[in-house]
């Protein structure tokens, strides 16, 4: 890992807008002096984005979204577009998270359309990829990663691919307390790198905690971490910073 490490929190469906702003106040009080030289971001629920934007002003912390719709606008009840996120100051969006794929039927084709829509608005897509336990046990890890990368990035120019961030999150490691080993992560990252036409940051996610974050951050081919559960408390997220 040469450049500034990415440390991204994925809050999933946690925190009201008031709880989110209170988190930032506590977090900045504890870590404001340690933020430099790192790309730190949090993806709260949509409803907390405006209060988070105000709370992080001047700190350099990036605010992202956890999902978006691919269309610019239209009759899509309940959905949010890239331009709406852009208007709030959102700079990155998680796309293809395994929970979106598993519970909301998100396909590689959908993810591909969303990535194009995010890029068109100048929002950095963080493309989440990862195999299930069944995939791994059937020795399908590389095939799954390759499919998710190739179909997720289909039709993009090399320059566009260069604006994407990848996150390797083995599904069996998410929220289970059982992270991948460093070797498993490094192997998957090295493979993902070979599947991509240009150099992009590759983050690791899946049960990253304060006590294993620095090992992942110093691992070869790992450019940052995507943190779920352990990003919800200012103390544990701050310890990683
Ligand atoms: P976890 O979640 O850190 O709680 O395992 C990671 C994620 O889903 O992005």
- d(C-alpha 201, C-alpha 40), whole Å: 14
For tokens 């998100």, name the residue.
106
- d(C-alpha 124, C-alpha 22), whole Å: 26
Measured in angstroms, how far is the CA atom of residue 22 from the centroid of ligand 1?
22
Q: Packing angle between helix 141-152 and helix 182-195, nearest 10 degrees?
A: 40
Active site residues: 97, 169
Does the predicted model carry a pTM greater than 0.85? yes
The residue to mutate among 67, 130, 205, having the most atoms of ligand 1 within 8 angstroms of its beta carbon, is 205
What's the pLDDT score for residue 41? 98
Q: What is the pLDDT of residues 174-200, one digit of tens each?
A: 999 999 999 999 999 999 999 998 999
Measured in angstroms, how far is the CA atom of residue 75 from the centroid of ligand 1?
32
- d(C-alpha 150, C-alpha 103), whole Å: 22
The sign of the torsion formed by the CA atoms of 41, 44, 48, 49 equals positive
- d(C-alpha 77, C-alpha 225), whole Å: 33
* pLDDT tens track, the chain, 241 positions: 458 999 999 999 999 999 999 999 999 999 988 999 999 999 999 999 999 999 999 999 999 999 999 999 999 999 999 999 999 999 999 999 999 999 999 999 999 999 999 999 999 999 999 999 999 999 999 999 999 999 999 999 999 999 999 999 999 999 999 999 999 999 999 999 999 989 999 999 999 999 999 999 999 999 999 999 999 999 999 999 9
Identify whether the C-beta of residue 234 lies closer than 8 Å to the C-beta of residue 27: yes
Q: What is the pLDDT of residues 117-149, one digit of tens each?
A: 999 999 999 999 999 999 999 999 999 999 999
């Amino acid at each position: 890992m040469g450049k500034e490490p990415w440390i991204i929190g994925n809050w999933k469906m946690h925190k009201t807008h008031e709880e989110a702003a209170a988190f930032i106040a506590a977090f900045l009080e504890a870590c404001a002096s340690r933020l430099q030289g790192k790309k730190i971001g949090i993806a709260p629920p949509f409803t907390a984005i405006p209060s988070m934007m105000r709370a992080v002003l001047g700190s350099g912390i990036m605010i992202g979204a956890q999902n978006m719709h691919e269309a610019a606008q239209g009759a899509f009840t309940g959905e949010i577009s890239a331009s709406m996120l852009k208007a709030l100051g959102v700079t990155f969006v998680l796309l293809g998270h395994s929970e979106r794929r598993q519970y909301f039927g998100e396909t590689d084709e959908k993810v591909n359309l969303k990535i194009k829509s995010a890029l068109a608005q100048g929002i950095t897509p963080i493309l989440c990829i990862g195999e299930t336990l069944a995939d791994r046990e059937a020795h399908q890890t590389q095939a799954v990663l390759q499919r998710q990368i190739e179909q997720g990035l289909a039709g993009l120019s090399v320059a566009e691919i260069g604006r994407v961030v990848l996150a390797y999150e083995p599904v069996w490691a998410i929220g289970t307390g059982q992270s991948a080993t460093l070797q498993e992560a490094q192997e998957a990252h090295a493979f993902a790198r070979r599947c991509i036409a240009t150099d992009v940051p590759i983050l690791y996610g899946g049960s990253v905690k304060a006590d294993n974050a620095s090992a992942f951050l110093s691992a070869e081919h790992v450019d940052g971490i995507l943190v779920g559960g352990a990003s919800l408390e200012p103390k544990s997220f701050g310890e990683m910073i």
